[in-house]
């Protein structure tokens, strides 16, 4: 996508595109939604998404690529270290992480991975985790799209591309759910890390090229 639309347009397109998958996952798993955990993350995250989005708009393309690559790559060891030590998340810790997540979500891609160990450490079951994280992601994408739209980063072409890309992800999500059921947790973690590593390295290449 980046070679076609340019690095600056990546986040606005993703904000629209990823909204489709997040809303559908949140709706399908709505019975397991954990309201308290959602509020603990969402309330501090929302204003920080706006601040992060405005910060993103001020960056040069190479700086954007450098930041995106750094956040994505950093999420891999942070998530694994947090899982290794089985973090037990308090209410205040979850809210603090929510604020950091919000800023990074407004200005980069991939920070959702940073939330994983902290939300799980709050005591959510696997199904509640999926439902709640999907709802957080949906709200984040809405706030991010609204921010980018208000500062002129989402024009008609970006909007159309985001809507088309998002609609294409719907059958992909269905196929992914089938594949996911056949994968072990270990293999799934490896796949996620490999995809994150590949994306992070690509962004760093664009920053340094």
pLDDT, one tens digit per residue, over 111-149 is 777 787 788 788 887 778 888 988 999 999 899 888 888
What are the residue ranges spanned by the domains of the chain?
Answer: 2-208
Distance of alpha carbon 141 from alpha carbon 144, whole angstroms: 5
Mean pLDDT along residues 77-87: 76
Q: What share of the chain is helix, strand, coil (3-state, %, to 5)?
A: 85, 0, 15
Mean pLDDT in residue range 43-49: 94
Q: In the predicted model, is pLDDT for residue 3 greater than 60?
A: no
In the block, residue with structure tokens 């800023």: 103
CA atoms within 13 A of residue 181's CA, in its CB half-sphere: 5
Read off the pLDDT of residues 149-183 as tens digits, 9 standing for 90 and up: 888 878 788 888 888 888 877 777 677 667 766 77
| Cβ–Cβ < 8 Å for 67, 10 | no
Give the residue carrying structure tokens 């393309």: 61
Q: What is the mean pLDDT of residues 179-199?
A: 76
b/e sequence 114-153, b meaning 16+ C-beta within 10 Å:
bbbbbbbbbebeeebbbbbbbbbbbbbbbbbbebbbeeeb
Name the pTM for this structure: 0.73
pLDDT of 2 over the 90 cut? no
């Amino acid at each position: 996508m980046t070679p076609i639309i340019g690095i600056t347009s990546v986040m606005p397109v993703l904000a629209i595109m990823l909204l489709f998958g997040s809303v559908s996952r949140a709706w399908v798993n709505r019975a397991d939604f954990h309201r308290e955990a959602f509020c603990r993350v969402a309330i501090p995250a929302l204003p920080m998404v706006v601040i992060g989005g405005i910060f993103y708009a001020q960056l040069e393309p190479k700086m954007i690529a450098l930041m995106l690559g750094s956040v994505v790559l950093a999420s891999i060891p942070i998530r694994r270290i947090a899982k290794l030590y089985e973090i037990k998340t308090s209410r205040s810790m979850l809210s603090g992480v929510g604020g950091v997540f919000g800023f990074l979500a407004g200005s980069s891609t991939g920070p959702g991975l940073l939330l994983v160990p902290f939300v799980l450490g709050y005591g959510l079951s696997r199904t509640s985790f999926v439902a709640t994280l999907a709802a957080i992601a949906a709200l984040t994408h809405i706030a991010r799209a609204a921010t980018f739209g208000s500062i002129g980063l989402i024009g008609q072409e970006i909007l159309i591309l985001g809507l088309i890309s998002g609609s294409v992800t719907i059958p992909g999500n269905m196929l992914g759910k089938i594949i996911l059921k056949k994968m072990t947790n270990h293999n799934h973690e490896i796949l996620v890390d490999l995809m994150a590593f590949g994306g992070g390295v690509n962004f760093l290449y664009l920053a340094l090229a």
